[in-house]
């Protein structure tokens, strides 16, 4: 699912390259990364296993149209091809917005293509999704080899529903950018449809509290007086009491459990003491997240 950063006016979408082992997923990602201008891309990160790699990087395509005033940042991922890394495959599919299935065109690899497609559907079902609910493009890779399956036969076997498909040779870059352009357009259209007609985003709880404190108190309906009692009605106050702390140095004692209060904000409770005061206080900090950086 696309992540919206209201502070940066930016939408982040995730595109995953899926397929059997050694079908050309990594080569596709590397080819795309090499073709993008340095000021539009982040760092290419590789998580290597003994037999395969998971790659990812982010890409801010400046040329594409904005969605309702928001820039779109695309995050590209590959998944390990080996079956015994299925937990990693499934994890990479979390929050996916678009899929590129890279099929190996070699005739003796068709069974692996079918198994990988079935595995993709199973892993999407784990998150309550389906291939039919997510933009999908197929790339018939390795078309430069000799013993390859005809495109018409590959369409019949692994693409009976007629998803967009392209022939490709990832090692030379043939077809790579065509696939990239197609899946990007499909993802943007999918996001645009998803944002159409939605109500404005509600403010985080911390922002709502601040707004409430600044607004004048609205008159509240008073209950009907009970004849048998003569109890004055208590006034209703909307404003929260403000704690006046004595002067002195604040010493942080411990932190509480962090709570996510919105898509890009967390609440961090801090326990602290003040000089010459035996009491312990708790301060709740609402922290806005602009980005998360992976430390090397």
Query: Does some domain include residue 216?
Result: no
Percent of the chain surpassing pLDDT 90: 33
**CA–CA separation, 274 and 296 (whole Å):** 37
Rounded to whole angstroms, the maximal C-alpha distance in the chain is: 98
Final residue in a domain of this structure, among 195, 222, 255: 195
- pLDDT for the residue numbered 29: 87
- pLDDT for the residue numbered 106: 97
| Per-residue pLDDT tens digits for 35-90 | 888 877 777 777 655 555 555 555 555 445 556 667 788 888 888 766 657 887 88
CB 255 within 8 A of CB 271: yes
3-state secondary structure of 162: coil
Statement: residue 261 has pLDDT above 50: yes
- pLDDT for the residue numbered 231: 41
**CA–CA separation, 155 and 149 (whole Å):** 10
| Per-residue pLDDT tens digits for 286-296 | 776 665 666 65
Average pLDDT for 117-145? 95
- pLDDT for the residue numbered 54: 52
CATH number assigned to the domain comprising residue 127: 3.40.50.300
Secondary structure E strands in 97-150: 98-104, 136-141
Query: Does some domain include residue 264?
Result: yes
Query: Does some domain include residue 205?
Result: no
97 and 185 fall within a common domain: yes
| Per-residue pLDDT tens digits for 172-216 | 999 999 999 999 999 988 988 875 444 434 434 333 333 232 333
Closest CA to 97 of 183, 3, 198, 187: 187
Average pLDDT for 102-112? 96
**CA–CA separation, 243 and 78 (whole Å):** 52
**CA–CA separation, 244 and 276 (whole Å):** 15
Q: 146 exposed, middle or buried (CB, 10 Å; 0-12, 13-18, 19+)?
A: exposed
- pLDDT for the residue numbered 212: 32
53 and 178 fall within a common domain: yes
Final residue in a domain of this structure, among 160, 195, 230: 195
Closest CA to 28 of 136, 145, 173, 166: 173
- pLDDT for the residue numbered 55: 56
**CA–CA separation, 100 and 89 (whole Å):** 14
Final residue in a domain of this structure, among 134, 168, 195: 195
34 and 177 fall within a common domain: yes
| Per-residue pLDDT tens digits for 16-26 | 999 998 899 88
For the CA atoms of 199, 205, 209, 212, what is the dihedral angle to 10 degrees? 20
Query: Does some domain include residue 170?
Result: yes
| Per-residue pLDDT tens digits for 216-235 | 334 445 555 545 444 444 44
113 and 8 fall within a common domain: yes
What's the structural domain count of the chain? 2
**CA–CA separation, 208 and 189 (whole Å):** 32
164 and 260 fall within a common domain: no
Query: Does some domain include residue 158?
Result: yes
Closest CA to 79 of 104, 59, 100: 100
78 and 155 fall within a common domain: yes
Mean pLDDT of the chain: 75
Q: Does the reported pTM lie above 0.85? A: no
Closest CA to 61 of 83, 39, 45, 44: 39
Closest CA to 208 of 235, 237, 238: 238
Indicate the pLDDT class of residue 161, thresholds 50, 70 and 90. very high
188 and 272 fall within a common domain: no
Give the range of the structural domain holding residue 261, as residue numbers without chain letter.
Answer: 243-290
């Amino acid at each position: 699912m696309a992540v919206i950063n209201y502070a940066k006016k930016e939408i982040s979408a995730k595109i995953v390259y899926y397929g059997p082992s050694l079908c050309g997923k990594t080569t596709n990602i590397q080819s795309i990364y090499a073709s993008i201008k340095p000021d539009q891309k982040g760092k290419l990160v590789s998580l290597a296993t003994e037999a395969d790699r998971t790659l990812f990087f982010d890409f801010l395509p400046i040329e594409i149209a904005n969605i309702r005033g928001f820039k779109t940042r695309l995050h590209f991922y590959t998944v390990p091809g080996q079956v015994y890394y299925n937990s990693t495959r499934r994890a990479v599919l979390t929050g996916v917005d678009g899929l590129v299935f890279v099929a190996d065109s070699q005739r003796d690899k068709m069974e692996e293509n079918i198994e990988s497609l079935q595995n993709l559907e199973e892993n999407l079902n784990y998150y309550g999704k389906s291939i039919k609910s997510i933009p999908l493009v197929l790339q018939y890779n390795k078309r430069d080899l000799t013993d390859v399956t005809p495109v018409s036969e590959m369409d019949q076997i692994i693409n009976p529903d007629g998803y967009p498909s392209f022939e490709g040779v990832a090692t030379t870059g043939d077809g790579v950018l065509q696939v990239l352009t197609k899946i990007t357009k499909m993802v943007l259209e999918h996001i645009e449809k998803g944002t159409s007609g939605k109500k404005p985003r509600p403010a985080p709880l911390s922002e709502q509290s601040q707004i409430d404190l600044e607004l004048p108190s609205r008159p509240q309906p008073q209950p009907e007086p009970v004849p048998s009692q003569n109890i004055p009605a208590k006034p209703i106050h909307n404003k929260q009491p403000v704690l006046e702390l004595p002067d002195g140095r604040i010493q942080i004692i411990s932190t509480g459990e962090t709570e996510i209060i919105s898509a890009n904000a967390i609440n961090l409770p801090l326990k602290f003491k003040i000089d010459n005061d035996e009491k312990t206080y708790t301060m709740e900090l609402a922290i806005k997240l602009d980005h998360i950086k992976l430390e090397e």
